[in-house]
Amino acid sequence: MNLFRCVTRVLVTVSSLLAVAACGQKEPVPSVDPVAEKVPVIEGEAVSGGDSGIHMDRLAEDYVRLVLELGNHDSHYVDAYYGPADWKGAAAASSATPQQLAWRAEQLWAQLPESEAADDSLERLRQHYLKTQLRAVMAYARSLADGGGQRDFDREAAALYDTQPPKQPYSHFEPVLSELDQLLPGTGPLQARLEAFRQRFVISPEKMPAVFRAAIEACRERTKKYLALPRDEHFVLSYVTDKPWSGYNWYQGGAQSLIQINTELPVTIDRAIDLGCHEGYPGHHTYNALLERELVDRRGWVEFSVYPLFSPQSLIAEGSANYGIELAFPGGEKTRFEKEVLYPLAGLNPADADSYVRVLGLLEKLRFAENEIARQYINGEIDGDRAVELFQQITLMSPAKARQRQRFVDTYGAYVINYNWGKQLVGDYVQRGAGTDKERWQRFTKLLSSPRLPSSLSW
């Protein structure tokens, strides 16, 4: 069910969210050999230089420069940039304050048309993209200007991610917890029993490279069946620790990525395909590569050469990356591949796979509880220790994982909605009128190759 409500003109102050660690831990190891592909023209789309010529291109350039300058005040705000090097150099030399940048963003925002009629053309989507992204730039710049202030989860979601996630009381998750309580063996606390059960599915460190290589290869091959990847695309894979996330894609431009997997906590067998799809194919690596090819290279739309992390684009990025797992491995195909290929590589017993999948299916239903815990924590209704307790009690995370998740909320705030709520919104869009796998892949590819944002998913 699509509960999405279009969010308009939300110009609020949100707190500073981001303190991501640098990514240069160790020399990355190539994970997949690059394979050249023919670069197709998307059916029904003609190449153009922009929708309103010089005016829109000028606004787009000003937007890119603005985002880069805002990065001076939070070195991790710019998640990716592969535009002109001199723009980056000029931005680095800027002395503009966050307040001045917020004012400039508002001036650019005001130059874009007021009307937001639902028009599915790429030109209209581009216009809507710039206006909506600029609204998030304003909100984030103002948060930096005032040094934080009173945080509010729902206002952060609206201002930065162009959406309003649903609220669900903790009682909504009680039936799932009861079912897990009956399913998992033992008599101790449910979270402890789950943790003991999951230990049977942990990939040992020495087997992890082979397992991940096989998983990523499978994700890529399944994506290639329906989606033509850019020529010479590839990524390198490295393993890191001490991060608030389990995996990260650092897009480099030119259809190249650095993907990092956090091995600080035990990595279970199901995460191999999940991370391979989410970070690689058809997730972040594919999404960024298609935007670069279709919108930057073919159309010259420079605004897509920069990616501000706290922006509506992140909901599309995370939502499509999570939905892409089910798209690449529909039905029972993920379990079958794990049993036939990954379990043997990991030295695990494939006979245990079906019971594990049943548990994982129930845990998936608890994902939205993470939003509710983050909402209470961000709004100051509970402290960090209580948040950690709730992550263990309601989402059944291990103590270490719960503490890591608290660090994630400390670092990213309301960003947590982009994974579960984003997946639901993207799934609603892809499945609308699509009855076959081929049709779903067509709509998914259309989404990944377009300027579409949360409030234009219903167009």
Burial of 51 (0-12, 13-18, 19+ CB in 10 A): middle
Cis status of the peptide bond prior to 454, with omega within 30 of 0: no
Q: What percent of the chain has a predicted confidence (pLDDT) above 70?
A: 87
Q: How far apart are the first and last CA of the chain?
A: 17
Q: What is the pLDDT of residue 152?
A: 95
Burial of 316 (0-12, 13-18, 19+ CB in 10 A): buried
What are 80-91's pLDDT values in tens digits?
999 999 999 999
Q: What is the pLDDT of residue 52?
A: 54
Mean pLDDT estimate for the chain: 88
All structural domains of the chain with their residue ranges: 29-165+206-364+421-456
Q: What is the pLDDT of residue 113?
A: 84
Confidence band, pLDDT 50/70/90 cuts, at residue 53: low
Does pLDDT of 9 surpass 80?
Answer: no
Q: Crossing angle for the helix pair 313-328 and 208-224, nearest 10 degrees?
A: 90
Q: What is the pLDDT of residue 457?
A: 95
Average pLDDT over residues 182-200: 94
What are 238-259's pLDDT values in tens digits?
999 999 999 999 999 999 999 9
What are 432-443's pLDDT values in tens digits?
989 899 999 999
